[in-house]
A and B are shown apart, each in its own frame.
Chain A
Amino acid sequence: MTTPATNTDVDRSARVAGDNRRKILEATMKRFQYQGDALIEVLHKAQELYGFLSPELLSEVAQRLRLPPSRVYGVATFYHFFSLAPQGEHTCTICLGTACYVRGASLLLHELEALSGVKAGHTSADGRFSLLTARCLGACGIAPAAVLDGEVIGHADRSDLTARIRALLGHEE
């Protein structure tokens, strides 16, 4: 099966950027023989490629897998992992699992909210910083745990973490 030319925004942006993300996504769908069962796997790939799931991307996936858009939207919004809005340039995820909670993760989160002016689960207006929470990273042995731009930080110390975020955001201003 080959890709028929479609005129969606996704395609246009892909052509402009000259990237092959669209091709990779197509290959993923093809690997699953365009079966609706593979929807979650396909959305994982789409988010990995594009960073978030735009409405255009979702309807594109719906079309290719021959699923109603409502089903695709329903799945994308059901699972926490999928993000329908772009993330900030920098992200900090605070683990709120029980072990981290008992070791003061919620205090850490409040401090970061105050510092960044961003509420948990949101991105700053300038798109620089997203403050996220996780249910459990499974890194309970080093609680409280945080993830700063992909790097897991164990025994996260309030002053250390705020200093790092301040440096991260302030440095580029």
Chain B
Amino acid sequence: MKYIILTNNPLAEDEFKETHDVEFVDGKLIDVLIKARDMVNCGAVLLNHPLYGSVKPNETPYRSLLIKCPAEPADGSFPAADPESVRLIGNAVNAFRKFIVKKEITNPSLLEDFQVVDLSLLKSAVAAADR
């Protein structure tokens, strides 16, 4: 199945850039969610849950999403949006916004821990998508 990995996690980019289609977002977690929401609104389908990981969205700075790009309809019209993807990404953006955003995390060892956990959860999604 053809999909892209949308991520702001540099470790995830390193891990998958040789084998998968990776779109790196140079930004915050919310930027990944909003980029994904834009894609979903144009017919893309989410393959993993945008609120994966019990690390709450305002606590981890990273997010990696698997997104299946829509086939262009032959008649040149816009592809229809996938209602379930629209609902999930909308809920995720709302869930993120309801939490108080804390001070930016700068501790390198903590950032590495967050990257590792994000990558490990991404790997379970990739394993499922590639089987």
A and B bound?
no
